[in-house]
Structure 1
Amino acid sequence: MKVSEQEAVASAARELGVFLERRKEQIARRWADAPLFRAVFTDSRDEAVEACKAVVDALSEVASAGSPEDIAAPGFDQVREQLGRMSGSRTRTGAGPAQIADEVAALRAPVVELLRAEATDASAPEVAERVLALTLLMGTLRLVVMRTALGSGQELIARQREELLEVATPVISLREGVVVVPLIGTLDSARSQVVMESLLESIADRGARYAVLDITGVSTVDSLVAQHLMKTVDAARLMGAECVVSGIRPAIAQTIVHLGIDLGSVVTRATLADALAYALARQGVDAAPDAGAP
């Protein structure tokens, strides 16, 4: 775009900014009935109108700065969170990115109608320039909405992943002083961190003296997994609890030996029952089955 064209667009954008501020109430009331806002603010139209006004204010600020194509314009900061919530709400109701983009694009038409209705000559060049500036501005708004939606989606996925990790790694209190962490599946860095945090919190909250890490359900053990286990054992020891690792199957035992991993400082038992019997015996509790039991 040539310098003269850029100046023309900037000038038209500034005039558009004044128009948006002047017609904010009318624009907001028209937008409140548009699918993007109506589908989100289902209980109160007044809330939808206020949300629309906030978006118009942001667009007016960006346009008044003369840079309708600036996606990083400060004017968008005040509505970025709101746009993220709106697009997130639309996503949860089944609307895809293309539909959300179309709904944002549909906000342009009511503003164009007001622009042309206010002009003495709707076909005048200055009207066309303002419509062009509006088109650029609404295109930028669409990009802001989509980027915000993607960012919100990634944050939601991250939170859900953390919640799933916590659910998949429970800390079970079997009796006073003994907790068990049954591990199933793959033990990567992220999950290992969750295991350590959950275990240490449980040790502190329940005053546990013994913690059993049962890896019966862990498919493979490599040097990284072994390191994670050792760090967890060391951290628990610093908290005053002794860790017992159980569920070391023959294949895993061979792998540990072949890798040259030293678990000499860690108490290990073949099964969870053996580990529990050890922990109970250390507490002076007889873990042997009742002779009169069937």
Structure 2
Amino acid sequence: MRRPGPGGASVIAGTNQTVRDGLTEFLKIRRGDIERAWAATPVFTSKRPADAAEECAELLSGIRQVIETGTEEDPSADGFSAVRTVLGSLASRSAGGPSGSDRPDVTVLKAPLLRLWGEQGHDEDVTNAGALALSTAINTLRIAVLEIELSAGADTILSQRQQLTELSTPVIKLWDGILAIPLIGTLDSSRGQAATEALLQQIVAQQARVAILDITGVTAVDTLVAQHLLKTAMAARLMGAECVISGIRPQIAQTMVQLGIDLGEVATRATLADAFSHALRKIGMAITRSDNEPGR
């Protein structure tokens, strides 16, 4: 049976103030026994003894706080928030540990805690009510650890996705004043924005006069992709560089005509080699065959 607690939390209805006072006193006087018992569980055995003892002490302090305030069912309670660093450490060990049932689970802290509580010699009602509150606190602790683990996992995925986006849009210096950015795969809004930003930054850094957008590896060109290309070309022009689009295959050319896509004044070339030759001419350079070339 449960009833709403203060601040939106829920507390065990049978856990009256007398029981809470008894639990608080128990967590204080048996602190050393609890910490030693916890340090021997799989959750902490991989840690150095000194580090395990410190984390156990901090964790017990948080448990005692939520028991005192009746917030043992709220993962966001101050008691759990106060030991967030320890919870983060537990979450990282859980995420990086073995899979399945072999992974460290903070609920193993429950058994020694309840065993020591049972040794206090209270009457059955008090013992049961206290055990329920302690069990609830450990269960909520597990929820708090899982929330941190999931949040960290989401942050890692986002970071890796951003890194992959950056790696998939490299800006290459072909010659002094000439840059190229080979686009491969599907060009969505995120990659299109990343490509534009990377190119503009390098135009400034390299003082480039020509930028080549090579779409040889782009799987398909639709209206959205064409808009990305045009926006990038316009932005490059505003930065003082001419933009050349290369790698327009016959199939892509037909698709663009069918969709009515007009690249306007943007120069286009069939291959990257053609675009590079065009770029060299734009900066006053030319490729000539040497008379001393072997075989001539």
Q: Secondary structure at the match of 2:187?
A: coil
The 5 Å alignment of 1:1-294 reads 1=1, 6-9=12-15, 11=17, 12-13=19-20, 15-39=22-46, 41=47, 44-96=48-100, 99-100=102-103, 103-117=105-119, 119=120, 121=121, 124-290=124-290, 292-294=292-294
Structure-2 change in CA distance of 1:54 and 1:218 (3 Å): same
Q: Say which structure is richer in helix.
A: 1
Asked if 1 retains the 8 angstrom alpha-carbon contact of 2:58 and 2:86, the reply is: no
What is the identity, as a one-letter code, of the residue corresponding to 2:26? Answer: F
**Matched residues in 2 for 1:47 and 1:175: separation?**
55
How far apart are 1:34 and its partner, in Å?
2.0
For 2:109 and 2:96, how far apart are their aligned partners in 1? 21
Report the secondary structure of 1:8's partner residue. coil
Taking structure 1 as reference, are residues 290 and 36 closer, same or farther at Cα in structure 2, changes over 3 Å only?
farther
Q: Within 2, Cα distance between the matches of 1:99 and 1:286?
A: 66
The one-letter code sitting in structure 2 at the alignment partner of 1:172 is I
Q: CA RMSD in A?
A: 2.4
Q: Answer whether contact 1:183 1:214 (CA < 8 A) is retained.
A: yes
1:187·1:218 contact (CA, 8 Å) conserved in 2? yes
The code of the aligned residue for 2:114 comes to V
Rounded to whole Å, the distance in 2 between the matches of 1:138 and 1:80 is 15
**Identity in percent:** 43
CA distance in structure 1 between the aligned counterparts of 2:223 and 2:30, rounded to whole angstroms: 66
Determine helix, strand or coil for the equivalent of 1:180: strand
Return structure 1 stretches of 4+ with deviation > 6 angstroms: none
Q: TM-score when scaled to structure 2?
A: 0.87
Name the count of aligned residue pairs: 287
On the 8 A contact 1:212/1:245 being kept in 2, the answer is yes
Aligned residues of 1:104 and 1:142 also touching (Cα < 8 A): yes
Using the size of structure 1 for normalisation, the TM-score is: 0.87
